[in-house]
Amino acid sequence: MKFIVSSGLLQKHLQLIGGILNSNNPLPILDNFLFVVDKGNLKVSASDNESTITTSFSITDSKNGGKIAVPAKILLDTLKTFSEQPLTFLIDEKTHGIEIVSDYGKYKLTGFDAEEYPKIPVIDKAKSFKISASALQDAINKSLFATGNDELRPVMSGVFFQLSKDNITFVATDAHKMVRYRRNDLNSTNEGSFIVPKKPLNLLKNVLFDPNETVNISHNDSNAFFEINNFSLICRLIDGRYPNYEAVIPVDNPNKLTISRSALLNSVRRVSIFSNKTTHQVRLKITGSELQISAEDLDFANEANERLSCQFDGEDMEIGFNARFLSEMLSNLDSENVSVEMSAPNRAGILFPTENNDTNEDILMLVMPVMLNN
């Protein structure tokens, strides 16, 4: 088997899919890329046994189709050192020997039998829907940070996709914070829901670089399949029942704070430097049109206090939040101003963008308070 490929093109595609590779794989064959050459096309797959991502592109001067597993690390490390040039791959399918010929010289390494590579699951009895790459990119970016890492609650370690005839909703929570991101311009004739793990969604973000592309998504009870342009990703879904997220959103929130998003974000970031390193607690004290943000670390006698002007409807109140959660939420909103709606110091606060450039986008973020040390 022989083919010629551009070094830059090959490196770009391998870097996009290489993020799936684990440093310690249960199966040694998963330390390799699977190369399949067929009719002037090179298809490369990488897998971690839970998810498989595949990319394909045209190559020149391919003689005889075939397939081989190529060691990923040595190939990626070699490609990083080349300037743009054609590379010739010569592969002996009996011995699995690989010879790469560049402008500088020759390099030999040993591949593995492609038949050892795990078979990519076939999705049968699948339901399908379409979504624009830009909408999926926004949904992932604005929800993924709120997923949890608790191994005892695996359903919270992914993003919940909820499909209906009216909209598509994406939810992420770790029980301390939650994001509900809804698109009213998207829908699915097949109503349903599924939970996609965090890792494949992080990989998917990297291949959604053309906002005008359309992503085809198919799913059944065990797998989801994402297809965009010349990339495809199949991943095993998280099995389990997602918590009833609507039930935790407080309905009656008479205290409403409206403030500049960037001013609040910068203030929380500065003040939190002086907070307790375990709780990351910041105190918000709202009186009239003034917001006082403070933090202290009694162990080291550190303390910070800032004042911001705001618009506030409701009774004067004090509430504590984890500064890291608050910062993450404010960083993932786009609007100039935000509203924080609250009912009591021991009830969740809800964040909304006050002005939304995209009328089809409905986003709500919820953060649980922390007990204040009075």
How does the average pLDDT of the chain come out, rounded?
94
Joined tokens for residue 122: 């076939």
Percent of residues, the chain, with pLDDT higher than 70: 99
**pLDDT band at residue 125 under the 50/70/90 scheme:** confident
Average pLDDT over residues 145-167: 95
For residue 373, pLDDT beyond 90: no
Average pLDDT over residues 92-119: 95
**pLDDT band at residue 355 under the 50/70/90 scheme:** confident
Distance, in Å, from the CA atom of 133 to the CA atom of 207, rounded to the nearest integer, reads: 9
User: Tell me, which fold does domain 249-370 have in CATH?
Assistant: DNA Polymerase III; Chain A, domain 2 (3.10.150)
**For the domain 2-116, what is the CATH superfamily, name and number?**
DNA Polymerase III, subunit A, domain 2 (3.10.150.10)
H helix and E strand count, the chain:
6, 27
Distance, in Å, from the CA atom of 170 to the CA atom of 365, rounded to the nearest integer, reads: 12
**Residue range(s) of every CATH 3.10.150.10 domain in the chain:** 2-116, 127-244, 249-370
Give the closest residue to 341 by CA, choosing from 311, 371, 304.
311
Give the closest residue to 29 by CA, choosing from 133, 124, 148, 111.
111
Q: Provide the 3-class DSSP secondary structure of residue 374.
A: coil
For residue 28, pLDDT beyond 90: yes
For residue 63, pLDDT beyond 80: no
The more confidently predicted of residues 185 and 63 is 185
Euclidean distance between the first and the last CA atom of the chain, given in angstroms as a whole number? 74
The more confidently predicted of residues 122 and 349 is 349
Give the closest residue to 55 by CA, choosing from 40, 39, 34, 69.
34
Joined tokens for residue 40: 């002037």
pLDDT at 316: 95
Scanning the structure block, which residue is given the tokens 């010879």? 99
Sign for the pseudo-dihedral over CA of 318, 171, 328, 340: negative
The answer to whether 113 and 125 are in contact (CB under 8 A) is no
For residue 24, pLDDT beyond 70: yes
The answer to whether 265 and 331 are in contact (CB under 8 A) is yes
H or E stretch at 271: helix 261-272
pLDDT at 70: 97
**pLDDT band at residue 53 under the 50/70/90 scheme:** very high
Q: Provide the 3-class DSSP secondary structure of residue 285.
A: strand
For residue 126, pLDDT beyond 90: no
pLDDT at 374: 62
Average pLDDT over residues 35-41: 93
Q: What is the full DSSP assignment across 226-237?
A: EEETTEEEEEEP
Tell me the residue type at 306: E
**pLDDT band at residue 273 under the 50/70/90 scheme:** very high
pLDDT at 172: 98
User: Helix crossing, 7-18 with 198-207: angle to 10°?
Assistant: 150
Tell me the residue type at 305: N
Poorest-confidence range of 3-7, 27-31, 58-62? Answer: 58-62
Poorest-confidence range of 6-15, 42-51, 149-158, 356-365? Answer: 356-365
User: For residue range 321-344, what is the model confidence (pLDDT) as tens digits?
Assistant: 999 999 999 999 999 999 999 999
Scanning the structure block, which residue is given the tokens 């009833």? 244
Average pLDDT over residues 248-274: 96
For residue 113, pLDDT beyond 70: yes
Percent of residues, the chain, with pLDDT higher than 90: 87
User: For residue range 286-297, what is the model confidence (pLDDT) as tens digits?
Assistant: 999 999 999 999
**pLDDT band at residue 15 under the 50/70/90 scheme:** very high
CATH architecture of 127-244: Roll (3.10)
